[in-house]
Amino acid sequence: MNRPNDLAARGRALSTRAPQKAARAAAAEPPHGAKPAAAPRVKPVRLSLDLAPQSYRSLKAVCDELAVELGRARVSQSEVMRAMVALLDEAPAVRQALTEAIREER
């Protein structure tokens, strides 16, 4: 091909590619005034919890019993709470028992 034809062919290719690229960019942009999606959280989230004195004593007793069972000097309350949250995700029976307990409280 000669140079004018090459330039014309490249021009046509670019002109068809530009609207497609603009359409993809417009689809990727959030609507005007909308907030962009937040990045997923990577840092642990701190959680505070108020317990009745009897519930706290029960939690401490569970921690002490687990330490003996596991042959460790100590099992922290945080470890127990993290394991309980994991069980809620993994065991439907635990989640159902929790649902029933909350239902009965109210």
Tell me what pLDDT residue 78 has: 95
| Burial class for 67, CB neighbours closer than 10 Å (0-12, 13-18, 19+) | middle
At residue 41, does pLDDT exceed 60?
yes
Residue 78's identity, in one-letter code, is S
Q: What whole-number distance in Å separates Cα of residue 21 and Cα of residue 26?
A: 9
Q: What whole-number distance in Å separates Cα of residue 92 and Cα of residue 82?
A: 17
Q: Which two tokens stand for residue 32?
A: 């005007």
Contact between 75 and 67 (Cβ < 8 Å): yes
Residue spans of the domains in the chain: they are 1-28, 53-105
46-80 per-position pLDDT tens digit: 989 999 999 999 999 999 999 999 999 999 999 99
